Amino acid sequence: MIDNLPNGWRVEKLGNLVKRMHQGINTAADKVEFSNSGYPILQTKNISKGIIDFNDTKYMNNEYWEKYKEKYKPKINDILLANIGTIGKNVIVKEESDYLIHWNIFLIEPNQTLITTNYLKSFFDKLYNQNYYDLFLKGGTVKFISKSFLIDLQIPIPPLQQQEKIVKVLDLTSNLIKKQKELLEKYDLFLKSKFIEMFGEPVSNPKGWSLGKLKDLFLQVNYGTSSKANEENKGFPILRMNNITYSGHLNVSDLKHIELSEKDLKKFILEKGDILFNRTNSKELVGKTTVFNLDEQYSFAGYLVRAKVNDKADPYFISYFLNSDYGKAVLLNMAKNIVGMANINAQEMQSIDCYIPPIELQNQFASIVEKIETIKEKENQKLKQLEDLHNSMMQKAFKGEI
């Protein structure tokens, strides 16, 4: 895995670079009883977003805390590494706080005279990005990485000063990625606030637009195909529920295909400007809406509803209306829970109350959306380039090439 390192570098096993490295408290083996208050026990899910998130933690009482705090309480500059679930996700402990870690997390205290916390974290991140851990998973139904794997993990070690330099370079590209993502989020926020600025809050209708129902704005509504999709790329790509994001964008990174007869082509092939509405999903996700705006020919699945607008409405206006806070609240309230799933049928969707601003104003909004979407596409390409650059830098960094 590691060869041809520059002068001054060496390869060392992780086990020789840490002061302590062990899993957290085994609540089952140690017969720890959880309680509703007391000291939090951090589990994998609490670090899976790359930060320490205390939401949805379990607690232990004072008796257990006193017994286990010495061993299982993280200190500043320790690294917490997920051992199960989102394996390899890790965070640096930056603040002193009273909590313990569950055994699904490894607590790692780097020996700062040999390796810096930031350098080790960068190395863990590189392995995670490369899916390296997947090669060494153990376990049956539930996979995990073992302590022996971590102890023997070979790490290229430059002098401390160079470790800091490498971290700085990698921080540079990861900060650029972070800023690029923030920029993209700002474009979305801009469009949401532009919608409110131009049309007013839907719930109060401060501009006094005429009122109606969504069905007043539709020319045609129909369900997608109920035929089974294939993964052999046969036929047309088919949009499914996972191709519509919660915020109302199309994501075609994961596609299946479907073969359509001549008769079904007209019925199930999308046209630019079609609205897609997710009728069946979990309660929170049902009602995801987007506008189809791609040049290629796509079909759509039966749990999506396609609506074509009449001359009173612009599809972007309706999509942003349904994806507004008001729209989401209406949809959440309307969704009927089936077993594990929720549903809003086409009739119910069309019965949603809405205001109807002049079509000229809606078109003006749509034109702004299209301009922003064009800019976002370019910014997304930049983001992809930055991510490629960051990955390439990580590869080079740990070979001593930067």
Q: Which of 241, 359, 368, 402 binds DNA (CB under 7 A)?
A: 241
Q: How far apart are CA 312 and CA 309, in angstroms?
A: 8
Q: Which of 20, 69, 147, 396 binds DNA (CB under 7 A)?
A: 147
The answer to whether residue 339 forms part of the interface with DNA (CB under 7 A) is yes
The answer to whether residue 22 forms part of the interface with DNA (CB under 7 A) is yes
For the chain, the farthest-separated pair of C-alpha atoms sits apart, in whole angstroms, at 75
User: How big is the site for DNA, counted in residues (CB under 7 A)?
Assistant: 61
The answer to whether residue 90 forms part of the interface with DNA (CB under 7 A) is no
The answer to whether residue 139 forms part of the interface with DNA (CB under 7 A) is yes
The answer to whether residue 226 forms part of the interface with DNA (CB under 7 A) is yes
Residue type, 320: Y
Q: Which of 55, 141, 204, 333 binds DNA (CB under 7 A)?
A: 141
The answer to whether residue 85 forms part of the interface with DNA (CB under 7 A) is yes
Nearer to DNA, 166 or 318 (CB): 318
Q: How far apart are CA 293 and CA 313, in angstroms?
A: 16
Q: Which of 17, 84, 115, 309 binds DNA (CB under 7 A)?
A: 84
Q: ∠ at Cα 162 (159, 166), nearest 5°?
A: 135
The answer to whether residue 132 forms part of the interface with DNA (CB under 7 A) is no
Which residues between 170 and 199 bind DNA (CB under 7 A)?
none
The answer to whether residue 1 forms part of the interface with DNA (CB under 7 A) is no
The answer to whether residue 229 forms part of the interface with DNA (CB under 7 A) is yes
The answer to whether residue 61 forms part of the interface with DNA (CB under 7 A) is no
The answer to whether residue 29 forms part of the interface with DNA (CB under 7 A) is yes
Nearer to DNA, 23 or 174 (CB): 23
Nearer to DNA, 116 or 290 (CB): 290
Report in angstroms how near the CB of residue 269 gets to DNA at its nearest: 14
The answer to whether residue 341 forms part of the interface with DNA (CB under 7 A) is yes
Name the one range near DNA by CB under 7 A: 6-14, 234-242, 309-317, 384-392. Answer: 234-242
Q: Which of 345, 374, 380, 385 binds DNA (CB under 7 A)?
A: 345
Which residues between 35 and 54 bind DNA (CB under 7 A)?
43-45, 48
**Among 65, 310, 92, 141, which residue's Cα sits nearest to residue 212?**
310
The answer to whether residue 260 forms part of the interface with DNA (CB under 7 A) is no
Q: Which of 228, 272, 384, 396 binds DNA (CB under 7 A)?
A: 228
Q: How far apart are CA 250 and CA 241, in angstroms?
A: 10
Residues making contact with DNA (CB under 7 A): 22-23, 26-30, 34, 43-45, 48, 58, 82, 84-86, 102-104, 138-144, 146-148, 222-223, 226-229, 240-242, 256, 279-282, 284-285, 301-303, 305, 336, 338-341, 343-348
